[in-house]
Amino acid sequence: MTKPVLHLQPRVKTMISNATLEQASYEIMKKAAIDIPEDYLAGIKSVAAKESEQLSGFVIKTMINNYEAATEDRRPMCADTGLPRYYVKVGDHARFDGGFTGMERAMRSATARATIDVPLRPNRVHPLWRTDNNNNVGINSPEVEWSFEPDADWIDITTVHKGGLFGTDYRMLFPGDGIDGIKRFLLDTLISFGKRGLCCQPAIIGIGLGGSKDTCMQLGKQAACLRVVGNRNPDPKIAELEVELKDVANGIGMGPMGFVGSSMAVDLHIEVGHTHTGGMPISVHTFCLSSRRATARIHADDTIEYRTDPMWFTPYYRRETVIWENT
Amino acid sequence: MLNKVNLDLPASPDDIAKLAIGSIVFLNGIVYTAREGVYNKVLVDGRELPDDLTSRSNVNFHCSPAASKNENGEFHIGGVTATASFRFSKYLAQWLDLTNTKIVIGKGGMPVNDYKNILAPRGAVYLTTVGYGTGALLGRGVQSVDAVHWLNELGIAQALWIFKVKNFGPFLVDSDLQGNSLFAQQGELINQNVEGLYDGLKEPALHRYGETGNRKDELM
């Protein structure tokens, strides 16, 4: 009797492992801290080319030297490595080990590991007792924001390292305040935080319009941190307003460090959300000269691909239609 | 072209007197970090300064490094960046008197009155870091960690670090011994155009405190 021949099929992995999620989260912590995203670098170079003031020009040139030094030495471009946090997009068909709480645990562990290894500055302290775990992990931190994507079997994890003391403000405007009100608040925010360069301009400016107070803040922050330089809002009128407001920012007469110049904004992004009929809440955020973000896509076969465009604002994410068809 | 200066530390009174605002400076020698954690410990809690601090360095950097300790107990200094100095105004006169510090380095300068009333009369000047994100360039300039004090009590970000530095910079001179300020001068130039930016923009429907200083005012 002859034995039957076994034809072994190559085993295709279809489960994302928790260890891979941890590794991807760790790697993007490193990449974000060290390597300036290419879109921001191209953007700042084009801003530099238009800057005619000597002091402002010197500052931008020095920053470009700094990005090169960071990448060459594999050291953080800025020692204020901000408040490291995560934005996660999970495909409807993604299958992963350990569940959602396991994924959060992996991201906490990756943050702590990266803090020692990169090193990141252990910025996270208790707000009252100022106690520090020395690893950027603590109560409610790192923050993790979740979103979902139809027809996808991957998981995208993005980290953003943003300083947090200056450059953000919120105000309740009213429909009658109109575009004038938006311009006025943008000018107020940029002039107050731009003096002495406290918001570390030239920045990617994010504006959140609408939603409720908390989502208005979230949308504005995501507009600053999760869209690349050159990207425009899909609504053509909002896209036009983005360009107009960017010119308003660069027309203040201010450059980096609050010196005389024309370099306030590398780009300006607006995100909107339907809001209360009586109001027009607005938030302004500035993603600084060290605009640090990095994304990992973990594919269904457990492999990782890295990039610097978070691709966060998908048509599904903006949910422009009443039903869920717009994917 | 902007003027460029290489300064050996500790800086002599002559060297400091020669620093002109807007010049680019690189430092060689010993600098120490101190911010609110250290100021509180010494000036509020009354703790003694580290023994050799005042004899070795007269440069106070408002800085928290991105640093970690390896298994051998050695420090790995990654990036080095300043924090905003205006918050430390209230400590400064006492601190300069106690430590004989002559150069303060930080982010964004201090109010011009602090230069006139506190720094200049004590023969001290202020240097600002550039762009505020030059963590890698400044990290390169740190040759070694000479000592670190109060690491356990204050943590990495607030501890008093003593760095040996070489070609450490660039910094820009913000204040001189006459109490002039580069930031203030640049700010005044920008202010000349600020009102015009609001021309034709209507007032907001609801005002905020800050737009009126009187808390008894209605905001509508």
pLDDT in tens, A133-146: 999 999 999 999 99
Residue A130 lies in a domain: no
- Angstrom distances, CA of residue A185 to CA of A140, A301, B67, B140: 30, 48, 38, 40
- Report how many domains make up chain A: 1
**pLDDT level of residue A10 (50, 70, 90 thresholds):** low
Consecutive H or E run containing B163: strand B160-173
Residue B20 has phi, psi (to 5 degrees) of -100, 140
Residue A7 pLDDT greater than 90, yes or no: no
> How many CB pairs below 8 A link A and B?
185
Task: Decide if pLDDT at B47 tops 70.
Answer: yes
The mean predicted confidence, pLDDT, of chain B is 94
Given a cut of 90, whether residue B179 has pLDDT beyond it is yes
Is A212 within the bounds of a domain?
Answer: yes
- What is the chain B residue with the closest CA to A181? B204
pLDDT tens digits for range B121-157: 999 999 999 998 799 999 999 999 999 999 999 988 8
Q: How confident is the model at residue A164 (pLDDT cuts 50, 70, 90)?
A: confident
How high is the pLDDT of residue A271? 98
Is A135 part of a structural domain of the chain? no
* Distance from the A54 Cα atom to the nearest Cα atom in chain B, whole angstroms: 8
Residue A1 pLDDT class (50, 70, 90 cuts): low
pLDDT score for A9: 59
Which of A228, A236, A318, A223 minimizes the C-alpha distance to A269?
A223
Q: Residue B207: CB partners within 8 Å, gap ≥ 6?
A: B219, B220
Q: What pLDDT is stored for residue A3 in this prediction?
A: 64
Task: Kindly state whether residue A192 falls inside one of the protein's structural domains.
Answer: yes
The whole-angstrom separation of Cα A288 and Cα A60 is 12
| Domain range for A275 | 169-287
Reported ipTM: the value is 0.91
* Secondary structure (H, E, C), A44-109: HHHHHHHCCCHHHHHHHHHHHHHHHHHHHHCCCCCCCCCCCEEEEEEECCCCECCHHHHHHHHHHH
Q: Is the CB of B136 inside 8 Å of chain A's CB atoms? A: yes
For B197, residues 6+ apart whose C-beta sits below 8 A from its C-beta are A187, A191, A248, A251, A252
**Rounded mean pLDDT, B172-176:** 98
Domain architecture of chain B: domains with CATH: 4-181 (3.20.130.10)
Question: Of the candidates B22, B68, B131, which has its C-beta nearest A63's C-beta?
Answer: B131
**Within a domain: A248:** yes
Instruction: Answer whether residue B215 shows pLDDT above 90.
Output: no
Q: Which of A75, A166, A264 to mutate to test the interface with B (most CBs of B within 10 A)?
A: A75
What is the mean predicted confidence (pLDDT) over B194-220? 88
Task: Please tell me if residue A170 touches chain B, with a CB cutoff of 8 Å.
Answer: no
Higher local confidence (pLDDT), A188 or B79: A188
Residue A121 lies in a domain: no
pLDDT in tens, A233-276: 999 999 999 999 999 999 999 999 999 999 999 999 999 999 99
To test the contact with chain A by mutation, choose from B40, B63, B128, B134 the residue with the greatest count of A C-beta atoms within 10 A, namely B134
pLDDT greater than 50 at residue A193: yes
HEC profile for A128-159? CCCCECCCCCECCECCEEEEEECCCCCEEEEE
A7-16, A49-58, B98-107, B119-128: least confident range: A7-16
Give the Cα separation of A216 and A278 in Å (integer): 15
Which candidate from A119, A181, A198 shows the least CB-CB separation from B67? A119
Residue B214 forms contact with A (CB below 8 Å):
no
Q: At how many degrees (to 10) do helices A99-117 and A18-34 cross?
A: 40
Average pLDDT over residues B59-80: 88
Rounded distance between C-alpha atoms, residue B19 and residue B25, angstroms: 9
> Which chain A residue has the Cα nearest residue B84?
A198
Q: Are A190 and A264 in contact (CB under 8 A)?
A: yes
Answer yes or no: is A175 within a domain: yes
Of residues A24 and B64, more confidently modeled: A24
DSSP H or E stretch at residue A28:
helix A18-34
Q: Quote the CA–CA distance of B170 and B129 in Å, as a whole number.
A: 7
At residue A327, does pLDDT exceed 60?
Answer: no
- B178: its two tokens: 């006459």
A126 at the B interface (CB within 8 A)?
Answer: no
Q: Which of B65, B138, B187 lies closest to A195 in CB terms?
A: B187
Look at A122 and B155 and tell me if their CB atoms are within 8 Å: yes
Q: Which of B126, B88, B106 is nearest to B11 (CA)?
A: B126
Element (H or E) spanning A17, and its range? none
Does A317 have pLDDT greater than 50? yes
Mean local confidence (pLDDT), B148-174: 95
Q: What is the pLDDT of residue B65?
A: 87
Q: Is B220 an interface residue toward A (CB < 8 Å)?
A: no
The share of chain A scoring above pLDDT 70, in percent, equals 95
Which residues share a beta bridge with B64? B81
- Does residue A25 lie in a domain region? no
Among the listed ranges A175-189, A301-315, B159-173, B200-214, which one has the minimum average pLDDT value? Answer: B200-214
Q: Which residues contact B162 (CB under 8 A, 6 or more apart)?
A: B30, B31, B32, B50, B53, B56, B57, B145, B146, B147, B148, B149
- pLDDT, mean of residues B4-16: 96
